[in-house]
Amino acid sequence: MTDEYLVERAKRLYEIIVNRELGDDENCMCNRVCIVGELESITGKKFRNTAEFHREVGAFLARKNRDTESIGTRIRRARKKSGLTMRGLAKELGVSEKMIQRWELNADGYVPNPAVMEWLNKTLSNGPESTTSENGLYGETGLKNDPPIVLD
């Protein structure tokens, strides 16, 4: 099974639990236990209680969502997190506002330079961890734990 399939499967299973799509009869309880077991298998974590279940599944889904983000999306998120406009970020990095726009839109042929990647990695790794969700019910925004970006 592909990683993408497992992430989509985990999202759907988590939604079933969170949205209480199962009833309270004995058969539904068995289904709930099976879903939790499958989510433990997908995430590689054992859940000791409800809070840990939500925290671990939410973190797993948030991490997987970030792994598929484009560089442009991450630049935009870091810029907004820093409270900067495109103009402000352009001034800070010594590039044009149009260049920031091209990077954020993932325009072909416009790859951020190493100084930008350093700023982005620093901004995403040092920021306060959010307790609100940009990803709906899939957990924290994860600004503190974004993996570093490396250009080939």
Q: What was the pLDDT predicted at 70?
A: 78
Q: What was the pLDDT predicted at 37?
A: 95
| Phi, psi (degrees; rounded to nearest 5) at 19 | -85, 5
- In which band, very low, low, confident or very high, does the pLDDT at 68 lie, cut at 50, 70 and 90? low
Q: What was the pLDDT predicted at 88?
A: 92
pLDDT digits (tens, 9 = 90+) for 31-47: 999 999 999 999 999 99
Range list for CATH 1.10.260.40 in the chain: 71-145
From the number of C-beta atoms within 10 Å of its C-beta (0-12, 13-18, 19+), residue 75 rates as buried
Of residues 35 and 147, more confidence is placed in 35
Q: What was the pLDDT predicted at 10?
A: 92
71-145 CATH: 1.10.260.40
| Phi, psi (degrees; rounded to nearest 5) at 88 | -65, -40
- Going from the C-alpha of 48 to that of each of 10, 19, 56, the distances in angstroms are 18, 21, 11
pLDDT digits (tens, 9 = 90+) for 84-118: 999 999 998 888 999 999 988 887 777 777 777 78
Task: Please tell me the distance from the alpha carbon of residue 19 to that of residue 35, in angstroms, as a whole number.
Answer: 13
- In which band, very low, low, confident or very high, does the pLDDT at 125 lie, cut at 50, 70 and 90? low
- Going from the C-alpha of 75 to that of each of 8, 36, 59, the distances in angstroms are 25, 35, 21
Of 4-13, 63-72, 92-101, the one with minimum mean pLDDT is: 63-72
Indicate the average pLDDT of the chain: 78
Residue 19 is classified by DSSP as T
